[in-house]
């Protein structure tokens, strides 16, 4: 009986450790570093597009009366301090209930590296100019699977969404 209880706990702990080890293969730098290149009009103003998005305000939404009510219903005292909420509302938690980096302020919300992966190893211009090299250095090209890490039925206010429709609202391509 004891082993039947311990095996699922061991598997869950190992899975979390494996995920964290994978996530930490690269270091985070924060949106301000990304903005150095990705705020310019000739580049595509990706930083401005992000700042105007709901992702940039994801942490702030946890401070609303609605979020506090949902959290209270789940036994969470303060959603802005709960890893269960921050895993999808702050890049600093990177899909885990534990903070994984101090390089990013929790208040930054869902920023560049949530979708594109920790950027320290691919942020250099010489690497970013070579897509294969950037991917090798940790760059993620987000797709629907990236989005459903948070936009799923585990979310207490999940509403099914059409990926293609939502992508149109958040896309921020590199200028031609």
For residues 127 and 137, the answer to whether their CB atoms sit within 8 Å is: yes
pLDDT exceeds 60 at position 91: yes
In this prediction, residue 20 carries a pLDDT of 41
Interacting residues of 110 by C-beta distance below 8 A, sequence separation 6+:
55, 56, 58, 88, 89, 90, 91, 150
How far apart are alpha carbons 125 and 144 in whole angstroms?
Answer: 27
Q: Is the pLDDT of residue 176 over 80?
A: no
Please tell me the predicted confidence (pLDDT) of residue 24: 65
Q: Is 108 exposed, middle or buried (0-12, 13-18, 19+ CB in 10 A)?
A: buried
Which residues neighbour 144 within 8 Å (Cβ) at sequence distance 6 or greater? 163
Predicted confidence (pLDDT) per residue in 97-112, tens digit: 999 999 999 999 999 9
pLDDT value at position 14? Answer: 39
Tell me the per-residue pLDDT of 113-152, one tens digit each, with 9 for 90 and over.
Answer: 999 999 999 999 999 999 999 999 999 999 999 999 999 9
Is pLDDT above 70 for 25? yes
Kindly report the pTM of this predicted structure.
Answer: 0.83
Q: Which of 158, 164, 21 is nearest to 149 (CA)?
A: 158
Report, as an integer, the average pLDDT of 22-32: 82
3 pLDDT higher than 60 = no
pLDDT value of residue 174: 86
Evaluate if residue 164 carries a pLDDT over 80. yes
Helix, strand counts (H, E) of the chain: 11, 0
| Confidence grade of residue 23 (pLDDT, cut at 50, 70, 90) | very low
Is residue 59 over pLDDT 70? yes
The tokens of 20 are what?
Answer: 């964290």
Structure tokens at 51: 């700042």
Tracing tokens 């039925």 back to the chain, one arrives at 153
Mean pLDDT of the chain: 88
Distance CA 98, CA 77 (A): 17
Domains detected in the chain? 31-170 (1.10.1130.10)
């Amino acid at each position: 009986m004891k082993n039947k209880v311990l095996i699922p706990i061991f598997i869950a702990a190992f899975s979390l450790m494996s995920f964290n080890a994978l996530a930490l293969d690269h270091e985070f730098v924060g949106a301000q570093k990304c903005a150095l290149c990705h705020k310019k009009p000739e580049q595509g103003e990706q930083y401005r597009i992000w700042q105007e998005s709901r992702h940039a305000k994801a942490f702030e939404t946890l401070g609303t009366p609605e979020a506090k009510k949902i959290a209270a219903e789940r036994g969470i005292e303060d959603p802005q301090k709960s890893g269960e909420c921050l895993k999808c509302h702050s890049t600093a938690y990177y899909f885990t209930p534990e903070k994984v980096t101090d390089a990013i302020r929790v208040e930054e919300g869902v920023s560049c590296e949530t979708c594109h992966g920790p950027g320290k190893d691919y942020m250099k211009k010489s690497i970013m100019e070579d897509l294969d090299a950037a991917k090798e250095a940790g760059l993620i090209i987000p797709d629907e699977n990236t989005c459903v890490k948070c936009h799923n039925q585990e979310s207490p206010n999940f509403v099914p969404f059409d990926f293609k429709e939502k992508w149109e609202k958040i896309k921020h391509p590199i200028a031609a």
